[in-house]
Structure 1
Amino acid sequence: MKSKVLAGESPWKEAWTQLKSSEIASLDYKPTPFKVVSNGPYNKPDNGGKEFVRDGAAAYTMALQWYVERDKAYAEKAIEIFNAWANTLDSVVNHNRQLKVGTAGIKYLNAAEILKYTYKGWKTKDRKAFEKMVANIWYPVIKDWTPRYNGNWDAANGQTLMCIGIFLDRRDIFDSACRQLTDGDTNGSIKNYFYENGQCQESGRDQQHVQMGIAFLSCAAEIAWKQHVDLYGAFDNRLYKGFEYTAKYMSGEEVPHVQYVTWFGKNVYGPEISPNQRERICPAWERAYHHYHDRKGMDMPYTRKMIEKSRPEGTEIQSFMPWASLTSADFPAE
């Protein structure tokens, strides 16, 4: 990524310009930590939820800038964000607590992983304070999963649990998350989130939530891949089928659909696929395309159509991991 950016090659050049123009990339950025993050159903109330997720995205953005430009001001800004939360946060509570940790945690932890191994200025006491927050405040919120909720919840939980395991060098946490996200009894596992034809557990709900589910699972699969575990290939490339199914429908074509029955036998939504947010293309597509197309040589024509409309993938919707075009676009096979 760094070499592509510095060489000014497309699409990394455009993606880097997008990142640099974002307000969460500015060295003037100020974190907004809360002592208690309380986020209720449908974000009512939302006391600190959006700030928690946004500050995580900012920390990740700072870490990427540090890595590419080697300006330590960006590393220090990321650490400033870590410290603000580590020295303030006491708890994450209310109905959406798992979703907030699941969507925010991955952002902070990817930033922290970059700094841990590339920046010598992260003081041990500050790093330990961050680790303590992760282990004692975040982990207890998501460790028991939300198996009967819509699958995007545990897809979010799983990606962050993997990151916690890696950052804290807790192989047990990582392995448990891999098992649960592969074939665990949860709507968010690869086995259960997708039917064999690619229909998703939330396809009858709306297409934004489907994109959240497949995006979170692709993040989890990419994290696992970096640890030499293949979730992408699970159940005959079920994740691939979910991406192409969803992209085909969002491209304007029709796809087969039946009412979804959860792993515990509950009918959810209706017999028809939902047209809601069918035209709302979220930043969800680059990572899976990179793996299946670039690494594995598999055609993804409908996913490619989504990328052509969404590139460069940025941060316009908080829940998604930002800057996927920058980090994953069309890299050669590894």
Structure 2
Amino acid sequence: MTKKTFISLLYVLVCTVCFGQEFVHPGMLHTTSDLEFMKAKILAGEEPWKEAWDQLKASEISSLHYKPTPFKVVDNGPYNQPDNGGKEFVRDGAAAYTMALQWYVERNEAYAEKAIEIFNAWANTLESVVNHNRQLKVGTAGIKYLNAAEIIKYTYKGWSDKDRRAFEDMVINIWYPVITDWTPRYNGNWDAANGQTIMCIGIFLDRRNIFEKACKQLTDGDSNGSIKNYFYENGQCQESGRDQQHVQMGLAFLACAAEIAWNQKIDLYGAFDNRLYKGFEYTAKYMSGEEVPHIQYITWFGKPVYGPEISPKQREKICPAWERAYHHYHDRKGMDMPYTYKMIQKSRPEGTVNQSFMPWASLTSADFPAQ
């Protein structure tokens, strides 16, 4: 056993000791202190929060006139063919999250009630999520609804027990079965998406077994989406040879998972010698126009994928993926992230450019960069 392998295994063991503790609530992407920090910056009119808040308020998914569009069956196939309800499912989740943030900042009950209206619409309608992309739909939409629901549940007294139980039933009986078996041989962004939502399900339902399963799978599980497997030691990503948008998805989903774990006293950010940090800097360096070392990726089950060259596809497409990791590694840990900071200068404020990503990351995760 090499020294690095021993240290990595020891790290996982230390994290495991933290399992079994009581959940922090609210405690997914945002704790109470996070929300209060964001609120104070918005009310003070400070940047970059003011610009990010203005962007949120100008969005169509922030309006109290917004109407959810629930489907009985969400049927989403490869390359979104067909797409019956998939777009609406994800968009309504983003809208519910946006309403919850507005409720917290402005304390206008109409926003909390609008979030509940969206929860109820889907909880009382949805029967199944089917077809090839079903895991991606639940993985990318679920985290949005659940973060909204966590805020509403613990900060607003008007969500009735009946309505909350209906939402919980949908989560555990319709969503969870879709993603519980993971997609370990697919591209890594799939399980990264699954994992972030499974973690949220565990927290929201106070199901420690579900949360722990997700943490362990995303750390060193047999999956292309685990931190151990998604990155080589130099930061090269499993999908670097595919295209840079999908790489940014994997990075963003894993950063969400790491932030959720962090708020529950588990440090996935530091797993395998800060492997996630290396993935962000490697990708940001390449997207900044510089060259990076690259070899053909071999999956955890021994399959070569893509080719020996890093993919230039979507090299200039900056997605809203960067704020959360920068805040942790740079602001909390004092680690230099020069290339990631370059990406933030181009992506800020991070809004709803792509439905797959959590919206409003500049608003909820930005801090003053100590440059």
* TM-score interval, normalised by the smaller of the two chains: over 0.9
Q: Which runs of 5+ in 2 are unaligned?
A: 1-37
Task: Kindly state the Cα deviation for residue 321 of structure 1 after the two structures are TM-superposed.
Answer: 0.4
Aligned to 1:42: 79
Q: Distance in 2 between matches of 1:114 and 1:147?
A: 31
Q: What is the CA-CA distance between 1:331 and the residue it aligns to?
A: 5.7
Question: Are the counterparts in 2 of residues 151 and 188 from structure 1 also a CA contact under 8 Å?
Answer: yes
Question: Does 2:93 correspond to 1:56?
Answer: yes
* Partner Cα distance (2:305, 2:67) in 1: 42
- 2:333 alignment partner AA: K
Q: Is 2:136 the counterpart of 1:91?
A: no
Q: Deviations over 1:222-270 (max 9, x none)?
A: 0000000000000000000000000000000000000000000000000
Q: Is 1:154 aligned with 2:188?
A: no
Matches within 5 A, 1:127-138: 127-138=164-175
The whole-number CA distance in structure 2 between the counterparts of 1:254 and 1:28 is 48
Moved over 4 A (4+): none
**C-alpha distance in 2, partners of 1:185/1:20?**
42
Secondary structure of 1:258's match?
coil
Matches within 5 A, 1:210-289: 210-289=247-326
Q: Map 1:93-108 onto structure 2 (within 5 A).
A: 93-108=130-145
2:60 — aligned with what? 23
- Equivalent-residue separation in structure 1 for 2:188 and 2:281 (angstroms): 18
Give the 5 Å matches for 1:5-20: 5-20=42-57
Paired with 1:136 and 1:176, the residues of 2 have a C-alpha distance of 18
Which position in structure 2 is the counterpart of 1:204? 241
Q: Tell me the TM-score normalized by structure 2.
A: 0.89
Paired residue secondary structure (1:115): helix
Deviation string, structure 1 residues 162-185 (Cα, Å, up to 9, x no partner): 000000000000000000000000
SS in 2 for 1:256: coil
| TM superposition shift of 1:332 | 8.8
What's the offset of the Cα at 1:330?
1.2
Q: Is residue 2:345 matched to residue 1:323? A: no
CA RMSD of aligned residues (A): 0.9
One-letter identity of the residue aligned with 1:266: K
Partner of 2:3: none
Give yes or no for contact 1:208–1:282 (8 Å, CA) kept in 2: yes
Q: How far 1:15 moved relative to its partner?
A: 0.3
Scaled by the length of structure 1, the TM-score of the pair is 0.99
Secondary structure of the 2:253 match is helix
Distance 1:260 1:47 in 2: 34
Q: State the 1:208 CA deviation.
A: 0.1
CA distance in 2, matches of 1:124, 1:70: 21
